[in-house]
Each structure stands twice: as structure tokens, then as C-alpha cells.
Chains A and B, each alone.
Chain A
């Protein structure tokens, strides 16, 4: 289903606003004092959960495009990824500010000593280069191949994010397990597809069926130098 540029712009605008809803709800609840007895924890968790949700949604784009054949879906991917980064940055900022009040000693110790913080921090640091190279300019400068290789780090990032969640719950890993299944399924699907393509390539699917017909005379290329 191809869509026009105008339609795509409308979809993008709607998605832009949709991605702001979780943040707006947190803000609204904070404003009317409805975040419960521990509002700072509620903010930390709400932002963390939406970082993870957006990472998973971003990972859904490619499989969805492939299954639906809607090529334009890819053009939503940058916004989703940047939103994931945006929520991650707010999640981290809330940790630095409202949770730790910029106690750098404590923050440093946390990052080194509390395993769930260590992996959360690693995931965030790995997101930085992706956010920085998300624009067209960076894509051109890096070249498609290198850009793509770099942006594949979204896979380990998603895995680290799930580990972060898994390790921070006290006992009940039911919800982190659901995210683990989602991420593994999304990555597994890619592996499967890649593997299939590789096999097909080896089997010669993409090789030209016959040599192209040549018109005119064939002039052998002879080296000029001796």
C-alpha cells in the first residue's frame, strides 16, 4: 500500500503526538498529585517502561514492513528510535536528579556496583551514537554500510534493556519475561530471514538466470601497460 507524501506527513504527525502521550500522562498525574505515595519512583518506572516499549516498537518496524509490504513504514523508524532515546534520556535524568540529586559519588558507585544500573547505563551509552547519527547527514557521511552496521547495535541494546528490567525486579520476573520473549522473537525473526536469504543466495536465486544478451561486438580489454 503505497501512500503519498502528504499522507506520510500526516501519519508522522500523529505518531509524533502519540509518542508524547505517556509523558503527558506522567506530567498530568504529577500535576494533580496522582502518582501515588512515591511519585519519584512512579516517574522513574514510567519513563523506564516507555523507553523499553519504544525500543521494542522500533524493532517491530522492519518485520512489519516485510510482512505487510508497506515500504513507507521504514520512514517512521527514525522518529520511534529517537523517541526511545528521548525517554531513556529523561529516565536517566530523573535518576540523576530526583533520585540521586546529583550525588556523583553515589551515582558512580551505583553504576559500578549495582548490576541492574550497570547494564541500564550501558544500554543508554550505546544509544548515544545512534541518536547522534540518526540524521541524513550522518548517514551520508558514514556511508550506508557503516551506518547500518552501527545501527545494528540496537539489538544488543534491546537485550541489555531487558536484562536491566529482569535484574531490578525483586522476585516476580513475569513482566520482564514477556519483554524478553518479544525481543528474542523480533531478533530471532531477523536471524531466520537472514539465514534464509543467505541460503537462497548460495542456491543461486539472485544469480541472473541467463547471461544477458549482448548486442554488437565484444571488444576485449587489453592492459595498456606491459
Chain B
């Protein structure tokens, strides 16, 4: 399935006329991964076609914040997950998301800031990138270890100079009914909207990811830019972000609007607080046979627990 999906992806990239050639010039052909060398090499040698975007290398500096656990295979990360705009199961988005044009792409950062700005994705890709290998825990009880490539959200927020009145940060995802069946059906109150408290957003672990496994972020994982908050359930990590807004009041996220009794604002991974549908005590790590215990804050308690000192995390779930 993985190879097939990737071939489809290669084909699509080559066929997509909306991508101006200047945008597809590979940053650096990714050579570490054997399975791409054939395809990428053949394309480069032919001189007729630019190398496909999925073969674009996007290396990041190693980070001390990475876990030492072995990363989940790339195929599993790319082909399994929730991208609800495109599909309600965990597979349908892979193919459908290929229709999403990720160039040109801009991210507006505004709201309660001194210097509101609109960033082109190219500018963001030029920021110093790091590889962050993070645990990723879905509210449905599965987990992965994902080698993201990205930069701390804080480094972006500093550029716009948040005002003293800014207390929260809102993230808005791309929503296009033409290519997203569940947006067309109004399954939720789109666009996907998530939020963090400002101190959570500025935390060094909070990442804006632009890559995966040393390559440009695949569309099915939220290309070209997504949020990654490793101590919260996966649904907090908004995909394909188009706007970041600093606000004074706690945002009502898409899930709080849709199913308020099931999803709270904080969504910190917490084995002691069950979701009505899923027990959160344990999780199935993709690729492992036995379930493992879920750790408070997904194992990042040492770094983030102090953000919630004095809060009742049963109430603020």
C-alpha cells in the first residue's frame, strides 16, 4: 500500500500544473533513503522532469529534545492517521489529500501582535530547521514515534511581537470544500480551529513542522506546515495551517464546538482521565503487539507539568 500511495503521489506531483517550476526545484536530493534513489535519480538524469516533491530532502539539525525511541516506519506515519477534512477513516485521506495545492502557500500571523505578518512558506523553510523525534499520541488510543522536521513556534511568534494582552493562540487550517468531502458535508464547523495558551505556544517543545523523515512534509500529514504539540492528543496539532492569531480569550476549538462533552481545550495526554469512548490508560504503539502504558503528558511531564501547576486536570481536560 505504501509504495502504491507514494507512486500515486509522485505521479500527481508531476502532473500538477499549479506548481510553478521555480517552486519545485529540489532543495537537495535526499540520498539517505534507498527507496527513493531510483525514482529521484531517474527523474534528475532524464533532465525533463523536476524531481518530485516527495523526494525533496529537508534535513534538520539533531535536537536534544528528541526521544531516543525508534521512529515508527515512514510508511505507517504517512498512510495511517486522521485528516478529517478528507476522510472519516484512517486511510482515505492519503489519496484524497494529494489534490491539495501546497504552493503558493502563506501563513498569516496577526491578532494581538505589534507586527502582524504574512509569511510565504518559502520564507519559513529558510528558518533554521531541527529534527525533533517526538512521541505522538492519538485520543483514539494509538501512538507513533515521529521524526518531524521543523522550527519552534516561539521563533515565529517572536518575529511578530505579541502584545501584553495576548493570552492565547489560535490556529486555523486550510478548508477547501472542492477537494475536502467532509468540509463539503459540513461534518464539523470548519475550518479546523485549534488553540493553545500563549505559554504553551511559546514552550520550546511546541513545533511548527514542515518535514518528516528528512523530507518535505507529505500532504497526508498536513503539508506544508502543521502544528506539533507532543504532550497533547494529536487532534490539537492542526494540519495545513494558514493562519495563526493571537487572542485574549480562550478559543473555542472545532472539537469543543462539535462535541463539547468529549473534547476540552487542554487535551493533555492523561492516563487518569478517560474519554467516554476510549480508555486512556494504555495505548497501542503502531508496529507493536502489546499495548503499553500511557504516560502523563505523553512522557513530557518533566518539561511541561509546571505549566499546569495548581490546575485540576480532571476538570480542565
Contacts and interface: CB of A to CB of B under 8 A. Distances in A.
16 contacts: A34-B1, A36-B79, A36-B80, A36-B90, A37-B286, A37-B287, A38-B80, A38-B284, A106-B279, A109-B279, A113-B279, A114-B278, A170-B140, A170-B277, A171-B84, A174-B88
A34 B142 CA distance: 18
A34 B279 CA distance: 27
A40 B188 CA distance: 29
A183 B281 CA distance: 35
Contacts of B76: 37
A169 interface: yes
A116 B258 CA distance: 19
A63 interface: no
A170 to B, nearest CB: 7
Interface of B: 1, 75-76, 79-80, 84, 88, 90-91, 140, 142, 182, 187-188, 258-259, 274, 276-279, 281-282, 284, 286-287, 290-291
B88 A110 contact: no
A110 B258 contact: no
A25 B221 CA distance: 29
Nearest to A168: B277
A114 to B, nearest CB: 6
Contacts of A114: 274, 276-279
Interface string A31-51: 000101110110000000000
A40 B284 contact: yes
Nearest to A36: B80
B74 to A, nearest CB: 11
A115 B1 contact: no
Contacts, number: 52
Given A101-B290, A170-B140, A171-B188, A116 B277 contact: yes
Given A38-B142, A171-B259, A174-B88, A113 B274 contact: yes
A39 B287 CA distance: 9
B274 A172 contact: no
A38 B279 contact: no
Nearest to B82: A170
Given A106-B281, A116-B277, A171-B258, A36 B91 contact: yes
A171 B91 contact: no
Nearest to B73: A37
B225 to A, nearest CB: 24
A42 to B, nearest CB: 10
Nearest to A172: B88
Contacts of A41: 142, 284
Nearest to A101: B290
Interface in A48-66: none
A110 to B, nearest CB: 6
A171 B286 contact: no
Contacts of B279: 106, 109-110, 113-114
Nearest to B286: A37
A168 B275 CA distance: 12
Interface string A166-206: 01111110100000000000000000000000000000000
A167 B281 contact: no
B86 to A, nearest CB: 12
A139 B165 CA distance: 76
Contacts of A170: 88, 140, 277
B65 to A, nearest CB: 25
